[in-house]
């Protein structure tokens, strides 16, 4: 699964293989976010309620709340997405128990690693440095090449003197 950024371009975003109605809600949410954050949140939550197994919806929600500085909400949604991705990947619910894979997984496994990176970033933003450091250490072990982008968050942590 490709990780996506919410951008301000008018094109549609490829969220992958989603049911048409869920993709439509996500596309509407992305478009709404430019002008109406509350409407975007409602559309993304509508998609989540309709299909809680579709991982891109979690991404959209935690991303917009992180952008807005609503870090508790971002963290709550990211934790839910992490749990769903771990379930889909067949991994333990506790990320501390995950084992390295070679090659790095795709799909739900990659989404889980990417979301763990997002959680580390959110924890850093909340000045929860020890939690962020623990997540980053786990990501170093699980993804030594940094394929999901955790080295960027680690560099931010280093800049804060947290490691």
pLDDT in tens, 68-101: 999 999 999 999 999 999 999 999 999 999 999 8
Task: Tell me the residue range of the domain where 80 lies.
Answer: 20-159
Cα separation, 9 vs 68, in Å, equals 19
Kindly state whether residue 100 falls inside one of the protein's structural domains.
yes
Q: Are 139 and 117 in contact (CB under 8 A)?
A: yes
Q: What is the pLDDT of residue 159?
A: 84
Q: Are 38 and 26 in contact (CB under 8 A)?
A: no
Position 37 confidence tier, pLDDT thresholds 50, 70, 90:
very high
Cα separation, 110 vs 76, in Å, equals 19
| Token output for 72 | 């508790």
pTM for the predicted model, two decimal places: 0.89
Neighbours of 12 (CB within 10 A): 12
Kindly state whether residue 25 falls inside one of the protein's structural domains.
yes
| Number of independent structural domains in the chain | 1
Neighbours of 91 (CB within 10 A): 19
Q: Does position 10 have pLDDT exceeding 90, yes or no?
A: no
Cα separation, 73 vs 61, in Å, equals 9
Kindly state whether residue 82 falls inside one of the protein's structural domains.
yes
pLDDT in tens, 92-127: 999 999 999 888 899 999 999 999 999 999 999 999
Kindly state whether residue 9 falls inside one of the protein's structural domains.
no
Kindly state whether residue 143 falls inside one of the protein's structural domains.
yes
Kindly state whether residue 8 falls inside one of the protein's structural domains.
no
Q: Are 58 and 87 in contact (CB under 8 A)?
A: no
Cα separation, 26 vs 102, in Å, equals 32
The percent of residues above 90 in pLDDT, for the chain, comes to 85
Cα separation, 4 vs 57, in Å, equals 11
Q: Does position 5 have pLDDT exceeding 60, yes or no?
A: no
Kindly state whether residue 48 falls inside one of the protein's structural domains.
yes
Kindly state whether residue 117 falls inside one of the protein's structural domains.
yes
CATH code, 40: 1.25.40.10
């Amino acid at each position: 699964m490709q990780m996506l950024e919410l951008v301000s371009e008018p094109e549609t975003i490829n969220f992958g293989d989603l049911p048409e109605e869920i993709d439509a809600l996500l596309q509407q949410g992305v478009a709404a976010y430019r002008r109406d954050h509350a409407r975007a949140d409602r559309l993304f939550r509508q998609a989540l309620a309709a299909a809680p197994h579709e991982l891109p919806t979690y991404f959209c929600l935690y991303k917009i709340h992180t952008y807005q500085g609503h870090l508790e909400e971002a963290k709550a949604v990211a934790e839910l997405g992490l749990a769903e991705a771990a379930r889909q990947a067949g991994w333990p619910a506790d990320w501390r128990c995950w084992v390295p894979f070679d090659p790095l997984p795709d799909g739900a496994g990659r989404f889980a690693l990417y979301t763990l990176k997002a959680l580390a970033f959110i924890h850093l933003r909340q000045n929860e440095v020890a939690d962020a450091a623990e997540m980053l250490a786990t990501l170093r072990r699980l993804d030594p090449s940094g394929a999901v982008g955790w080295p960027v968050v680690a560099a931010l942590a280093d800049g804060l003197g947290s490691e």
